[in-house]
Amino acid sequence: MEELLFLGTGNAFSESGDRPSCYLLNHNENKILIDCGPAILPALYENQITPKQIDMIYISHLHPDHYMGLAFIYLENYYVSKREKSVPVLCPSGLPEKITSIINLIYEPYEAARIIDCFNFVELTDNDQYSYKDLQIRTFPSDHDAKARMAVFTSPTYSLGYSSDTNFVPEQLDTLIAHADLIIHEATSADLYIEGHTNLYELLEFEFPDDKIFFLTNHDQSVLDALQTMNLPRNLILVRDNDHYIIEDLLKLSKIKH
């Protein structure tokens, strides 16, 4: 079953009570982890998933609320999972050195000695492409620092876009819309301007096409409070931790034709 599971939907500060960014795409019995926030292990276990079941990881940029969970996946693999084959980690350049330094810092030398057993880093740039079985991953520039980029995951039957963190740039959102049926987009706060991020009211000024589904995530409490008093369009969905959706049902809801 093709499924989208929201493991972590809060922003870096988790003010809303939701975990930092991590999403799971179940595609053809492959589990694709999109970003890996520091609460990744409890997020997986709450959903009866073990780290060893993760088949591929995509990291959008070099901010710790999006990649720090790799350190905990590493330690779990060292003591428990002991993977026979390292998991591919698609990431910006510089992440291998950064996470290696972190693991060396927080664990004992003997514990930190086998990163290669757990991760196979594949460094991507803007406008890069990568194939994983029948899934095509394509990256696009994002208006955020730390080598951030948007991504689209395209299968033979649907495509999933991910904004990651970004200033509100309508042209970039148009790019995701042009390439994706389902779109995960941040709404970090209700109306507060935070450099490198999009707020809810900026998004609501955008004219969303009816035949796409948009998931609002990376939120704080102000977004949850604001949405208590407004009705979102049918195809805009606020997501919380552990929400999950069957992709076939989403495509029917949006009336997308293939």
pLDDT tens, per residue, the chain with 258 residues:
799 999 999 999 998 899 999 999 999 999 999 999 999 999 999 999 999 999 999 999 999 999 999 999 999 999 999 999 999 999 999 999 999 999 999 999 999 999 999 999 999 998 999 999 999 999 999 999 999 999 999 999 999 999 999 999 999 999 999 999 999 999 999 999 999 999 999 999 999 999 999 999 999 999 999 999 998 988 999 999 999 999 999 988 776 444
Residues 224 and 189: their CA atoms lie apart, in Å, by 9
List, in order of start, the domains of the chain with CATH numbers: 3-254 (3.60.15.10)
Tokens 């939907």 sit at which residue?
A: 9
Residues 167 and 202: their CA atoms lie apart, in Å, by 10
Contact criterion met (CB below 8 Å) for 215 and 18: no
Tokens 């500060």 sit at which residue?
A: 13
Residues 185 and 217: their CA atoms lie apart, in Å, by 6
pTM: 0.96
Rounded to the nearest 5 degrees, what angle is found at the Cα of 69, between the Cα atoms of 66 and 72?
A: 170
Task: Give me 199's structure tokens.
Answer: 């707020």
* Dihedral sign of CA atoms 238, 24, 141, 234 in order: negative
pLDDT score, position 258: 41
Contact criterion met (CB below 8 Å) for 50 and 83: no
How far is Cα of residue 234 from the mean position of the Cα atoms in its chain?
Answer: 22
Positions of E strands within 142-201: 149-154, 159-162, 182-186
Positions of E strands within the chain: 3-8, 22-27, 30-34, 56-58, 87-92, 119-124, 129-132, 135-141, 149-154, 159-162, 182-186, 213-217, 236-238, 244-246
Residues 233 and 196: their CA atoms lie apart, in Å, by 25
